[in-house]
């Protein structure tokens, strides 16, 4: 057996769609410096058994409705000319660059995932992409911000050619060139959070770590579409938005009884904000999340408390 070399996962690229599921052939935009990507493509494989036979019938194994999705982890970069760290994942999760939008207004994208192994090179196009879930997290102050996204799509296709730019089947197009990645540094978290409870003066909190989660609870609208090659494709006609959930979890040292008191009083929170990459991100109109597991362990030592909030909106200025 010969020695195996590592695979080479490329950066995530994207294109904004003006019509859901239609990929523009314009320049591909840099989106994320990827750490990992996992496909979650279910072609709806159907098998059948013929009468008087205990084995499945190979000829009766067919694909039905494709449900395309993938998960991706990686890092955004500091803003540079022509590049905005909020695109496409934060914009896609919230609905707009400036924050949360009205129901039914999540943007859609075509996203390109690339991987190579030796001379084998694959460029995978996911069209009709929407962000079902986004998690942004750090493990300590000054740490790089990790983006973890669950992406749902209309369809997935493997581009052909060398380099692979030719897309055929459902769509017929030549993918545009990829822009060069920015030369800026990885996006880091360097500022404390400002908490403003309702009716109380703002004060600063210094989390050891934090995690912000946005869930859009998308639902597939299945259907059929005639492809560019004249074939009929069974796929997702549209991704419908469900209830949007916005939560922040922070690990804090217990300095006083403020958070415990607020939790007992069901204290509302007007905003919780910090700075990321030159932008102020503010989570607005929220509450503490309180349950039997929400309280710190009281010990004869330094106390830590994992505090959680849920919010109705996000603004990014």
Question: Does residue 38 belong to any structural domain of this protein?
Answer: yes
Question: Does residue 88 belong to any structural domain of this protein?
Answer: yes
First to last CA, the chain: 56
Confidence of residue 105 (pLDDT cuts 50, 70, 90): confident
Confidence of residue 3 (pLDDT cuts 50, 70, 90): low
* Radius of gyration for the chain, computed over Cα atoms and rounded to the nearest angstrom: 23
Confidence of residue 256 (pLDDT cuts 50, 70, 90): confident
Question: Does residue 86 belong to any structural domain of this protein?
Answer: yes
Token readout for 47 is 């098998």
In 3D, which of 302, 193, 197 has the Cα closest to residue 258? 197
**304 vs 216, 241, 315, CA distance in Å?**
30, 36, 29
Average the pLDDT over 141-161 and give the result: 95
Chain segment 4-15, per-residue pLDDT in tens:
666 688 999 999
CA 157 to chain centre: 20
d(CA 145, CA 139): 9
Residue 136 is predicted with a pLDDT of 98
Question: Does residue 291 belong to any structural domain of this protein?
Answer: no
Question: Does residue 109 belong to any structural domain of this protein?
Answer: yes
In 3D, which of 101, 83, 97, 108 has the Cα closest to residue 21? 108
Q: Is the pLDDT of residue 101 over 90?
A: no
Token readout for 203 is 């004060």
Q: How many domains does the chain have?
A: 1
DSSP one-letter string for 37-80: EEE--B---B--B-TT-SSB-GGG-B----BEEEEEEEE-B--B
Chain segment 125-135, per-residue pLDDT in tens:
999 999 999 99
* Residue whose entry in the numeric block shows the structure tokens 């190579």: 116
Residue 49 is predicted with a pLDDT of 81
> What are the beta bridge partners of residue 316?
281
Residue 6 is predicted with a pLDDT of 67
**Helix locations, 197-265, DSSP H:** 258-264
Please give the angle made by the CA atoms of 64, 173 and 220, to the nearest 5 degrees: 35
Chain segment 32-54, per-residue pLDDT in tens:
999 999 999 999 998 888 777 77
pTM (2 d.p.): 0.93
Q: What is the largest CA-CA distance in the chain?
A: 77
Question: Does residue 269 belong to any structural domain of this protein?
Answer: no
Question: Does residue 31 belong to any structural domain of this protein?
Answer: yes
The whole domain housing 109 covers 8-188+218-242
Token readout for 222 is 């299945």
Question: Does residue 290 belong to any structural domain of this protein?
Answer: no
Confidence of residue 202 (pLDDT cuts 50, 70, 90): very high
């Amino acid at each position: 057996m010969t020695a195996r070399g590592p695979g080479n996962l490329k950066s995530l690229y994207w294109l904004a769609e003006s019509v859901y599921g239609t990929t523009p052939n314009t320049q591909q935009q840099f989106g994320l410096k990827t750490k990992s990507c996992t496909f979650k493509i279910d072609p709806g494989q159907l098998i059948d058994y013929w009468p008087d036979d205990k084995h499945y019938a190979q000829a009766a194994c067919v694909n039905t409705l494709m449900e395309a999705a993938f998960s991706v982890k990686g890092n955004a970069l500091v803003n540079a000319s022509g590049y905005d760290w909020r695109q496409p994942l934060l914009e896609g999760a919230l609905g707009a660059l400036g924050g949360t939008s009205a129901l039914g207004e999540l943007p859609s994208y075509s996203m390109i995932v690339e991987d190579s192994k030796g001379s084998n090179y694959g460029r995978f196009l996911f069209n009709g992409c929407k962000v079902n879930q986004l998690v942004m997290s750090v493990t300590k102050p000054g740490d790089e911000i990790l983006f973890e996204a669950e992406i749902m799509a209309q369809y997935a296709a493997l581009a052909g050619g060398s380099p692979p730019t030719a897309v055929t089947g459902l769509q017929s197009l030549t993918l545009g060139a990829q822009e060069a990645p920015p030369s800026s540094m990885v996006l880091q978290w360097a500022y404390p959070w400002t908490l403003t409870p309702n009716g109380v003066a703002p004060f600063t909190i210094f989390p050891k770590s934090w995690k912000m989660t946005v869930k859009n609870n998308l639902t597939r609208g299945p259907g059929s579409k005639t492809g560019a090659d004249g074939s009929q494709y069974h796929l997702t006609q549209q991704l419908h938005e469900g209830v949007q959930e916005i939560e922040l979890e922070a690990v804090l040292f217990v300095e006083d009884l403020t958070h415990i008191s607020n939790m007992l009083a069901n204290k509302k929170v007007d905003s919780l904000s910090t700075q990321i990459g030159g932008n102020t991100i503010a989570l607005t109109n929220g509450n503490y999340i309180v349950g039997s597991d929400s309280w710190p362990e009281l010990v004869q030592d330094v106390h830590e408390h994992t505090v959680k909030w849920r919010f109705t909106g996000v603004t990014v200025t």
